[in-house]
Structure 1
Amino acid sequence: MPRFPLLLTCSLWLLFTLCMMSVLIRQDLHTLEQQQTAVLTQLQNQLHNRMQQSQSLLHHVSHMTVLPHSRLFSPALRAELEALRQLAPAVKRIQLQQRVRNNVIQTFEQAVRLHYPDFLLHGLNPLTRPATEPSGAPVFHPLVLVVPNSAEAQPPLLGTDLGLIPALQPALQATRSSPDVTFSAIYNQSRGEPLLSMFQASAHHPGLIASLVIAVDRLLDIQGLPVGTRLTLQLGNDTQPVTLTPPATENAWHYRSQVQHAHLNALPVQLTLDHPLRLQDFSYWPLLLALLLNTLGCLLLHAWIRQRQATRHCHQETLEIDQLKQHLQQHSGELQQQLQENQRLTLRILDIQERERRHLAQELHDELGQCLTAIRTDARMLLQDHPNRDDSVNHHAESIDAIACHIYDVTYDLMHALRPSLLDDLGLVDAVRELVRGLGLERQGIQTDLQLSGALNDMEERYNINLYRMIQEALTNLQRHAHCSQASIRLQRFDADGPTDRLELEISDNGCGFDPQVISRKGRFGVLGMQTRAKALDGSLQLDSAPEQGTRLLFRIPLAAATDTDMATRSATGSAALPPSDADHRPASAVA
């Protein structure tokens, strides 16, 4: 129901558009039909005039046969006939043929050879049947005069029997009983030049027939017809229509045909004009204007209906938007709480991990360190009791002392890895310097540039230990995978104890680099661990690397932490920050 006005308006618009299109198209088709009728009338008049010219010429040629028989072969008559042929543009040839019965063929040939020594009647082959008289006797119609008789015009040879051509036989036989002009059927269409012959018997010479060969395509001038128009001409009722226009180069979606009938003396004529329908034949500007106005009105009506619908639903949409805002705010608050909780849990886990590492280092010192010290003491006492080096006891005592010393060194390195003592004793700056020096990067051919600036020793424990672990992990990865010759470590604190107090840690190298997306898909724990530590401190990690272009790690960590985060940190680090003991220092006996 809400769409009913829109459907009604569109239906009215469509109905009005169809009515206007129908009226305009019918008017254009009527105009086109009038134009076709005018063109056909003009062509009919032109056809009538040229056929009248041809018939007048044929009558004149027929009356010229009153001359003596010897004059029919004179060059003067040929020249006169050629001049007359020029007056009728459609006439291609003027011909004279003689009706000859079978019993007088030799006499006829001898008489003609007096003027044409090479004359020979063609068509005497038994395989070709000549025309016959009503009595059944064969009769021939050889040519005795052809104008023009040139190679370019390609006329039939003298002596050719026209009665052998099926299209000419009815017209030739009709000249015996009728003094009027007879017309043949259209022939020679297969060669691309349709021809029409006109015959009239001479009243002065029995058996002499005058004829004209008319080029059908010269009867009408088609140069002024529109492009793509098809014009066909049909002379007589039984002949096939002749297409006078060349084939169209483009395909039209429809042709509108107009037919006009006429009679030229006793010859029925039919002209058919097929006009292709194209867009330029229609007055589409009024149609476009009506369509534009209808479309504009429909759009305005549609806009008015849409505005009413929008006004109707405005209040409901506003309520839905407010509800969505409340849900989004609630969901955002929950997500923020979950994020803070995740950060607290991450800090808690990291603090517990550091506490366990320190506790394990303390246990290693208290238990394993004392046992190793006792073993070395007993070994030295055995050496004192057996000073002779050749004695096997002396030899085994030295071996026990060396093994205990090696185990103590390994234990000390393990305790140092679990909990760096310099971080508790001297602070972050010296602990980082000792870490870089202890890794021995210079001995591996890696030039190291270490830059430490700002109040780095005045930060809380959680920042110190996490920064130390991130630097340690990054340098370990650099040693294993970078294959570099230069490394740079920059740790800087900005605006200490100020509103924008923050840390920046940048570690870069000129090594082989890698594709960060491939590393992220493989889930490498080194990068993942550094990213986890950075997020736990409300910071971020920016990783820039590409194959053969080195690697750059940039940590940005704000030092203005939330209150609840500080409380969680203090509760965790309070249990982890045990007082330093002598487990963090190598005793003098270990190096003795």
Structure 2
Amino acid sequence: MLTPTTRKALLFWLLLGVITSTLILRLDYASISQHREGLVRTLEQNLQKGLAHEAAVLQHAAHLADRYRPLPFHLQDHLHALLNLSTAVQQLYLMQRVEEPDVDAFLKQMRRRQPGYQLQGLSPMTLPPVSPDSGNPVHHPVIMALSEGEAPAPWQPGTDPGLSPAHRAAVMSTPSADTPRYSQVYRLQQGGPAVSLYVPVGNSADLLGLTASLSDLLDAQDLPAGSVLNLVAGDKTFPVLSSPPDVTPLFYLPQSFSLQLDEQTWQLAYDYPVFWHQLSWGPQLLALVLNTLGSLLFLAWLRQREATTSCRLESQQVHQLQQHLQQHSQALQEQLNENQLLTHRILDIQERERRHLAQELHDELGQCLTAIRTDARMLLQDHPDPDSSVHQHAENIDSIAGHIYDVTYDLMHALRPTLLDDLGLVDALRELVGGGQLERQGIRVDLALKGALNEMGERYNITLYRLIQEALTNIQRHAQCRQVSLRLERLDIDTLDDRVELEISDNGQGFDPADQRHSRRFGLLGMQARVRALHGEFDLHSQPGEGTRISIRIPLVAAEVRGEARPSATESVVPPRLDANRQPA
């Protein structure tokens, strides 16, 4: 039985072997594909160069035919010399365009040169094409045929290439063409594919044709053994090369390219054979040896790790007691966190209820007061006499409704300051301090706001606002002072020590913090609860007759990193960043 460690090492060996073998095979495939593409490009270049060369030979032959047309024997000698310019040329042949009414005169003329000359059709059912100009049947009999070698020539004197479906379109369009016309691909008698090129001879009715072997043009003899090369033209496939290999290939990689001639599209399909010897067996063997060595090292490392596991277990037992103590500490910390979360929840509910109450006062009572004042003013318009009782009662109603509306507005503003939602903390604090209540009591406030105070979250904004609001309320009620200093500053922004510091001091009568009557006031307890809920520090310094100073420090980054400063249920969109020194509009 294999141990779990041995099974892991064996699995690692198999996985590493598969990965390295796959990489080497991909490299082999890329190399083979590159060689195959090079062969296909060579075939394409050979075919294009060969067809261009045959077209040039045919053009030169047409020039000679136009020059020596009255001397056919001299023409035959010159055309024979052109056959040696290309090994792919199978035959050169000269044709004459003859319409049906001129056939007898043409035969008499040809028989004077070649006794026994006859027109030869493919079959009695094959009809010649019709001239679009005159509407007469048109023949294109061969009047001179030259071939090289012992292979049978495709065309003999008297035969008509225009009767063949593969040649008819090219033959009929040649007289009006400026470039050589190509026939469709057809099979020679010896079995290879061929194509014929046709050009007109000067201004005469003669046509010159050239038959070229596509196998010779492609020069596919240098392809690897086992290669399969086919020429696809239309719906016909012509084998060009199919050499049986000595060894059966592993597989074939197909590759093809297309060639456009006149209105025809030829496609050359090449199947490249891949053999065993083309794969990199040396690197495969080296990779196997390296994989085996790596797996053995991995096995040794696994066994070493097992040996150290027992020591680690003993160390874990030593740490269990420490973990037990840590768990008790964590439980206490969790209780503290739960208390803080509960405080957050209570404050959130309080703010939500304040906002709801302020909204209800605005929507319900505010609309009713507006309707009452509207009706009172309509009564004033209907009874303009100031001495009438209706007019006086209407004025009283409008005055009382306006007073109630002002009291309601102040109450709504105390419940939920609108500037805190609309413009941010900076403008809300300036409006709170400059509201006029402190000035009416003869209290001057020195307000200092610094730093990016409008970029904090809703929870910090409402907490700071309530702290300052509560502190100013206590000062109005108990301090009996004439001057208040209020400083709010954000320090070390965008760092781990990002924090906000608040300091409020007055020159009032002060009090003894040790006195339970003062230290247990709900205002101070609420301020301490709000600060501690945000992991802040709250310091109170006061002495009878020496005034009071409150120092508050609230971290902004540390609580968020610990995940303790969760978004409030009443949180709204944060106002855009404003400069703390900007005066409100």
TM category (shorter chain) comes to 0.3 to 0.5
Name the TM-score, length of structure 2 as normaliser: 0.47
Structure possessing the higher radius of gyration over alpha carbons: 1
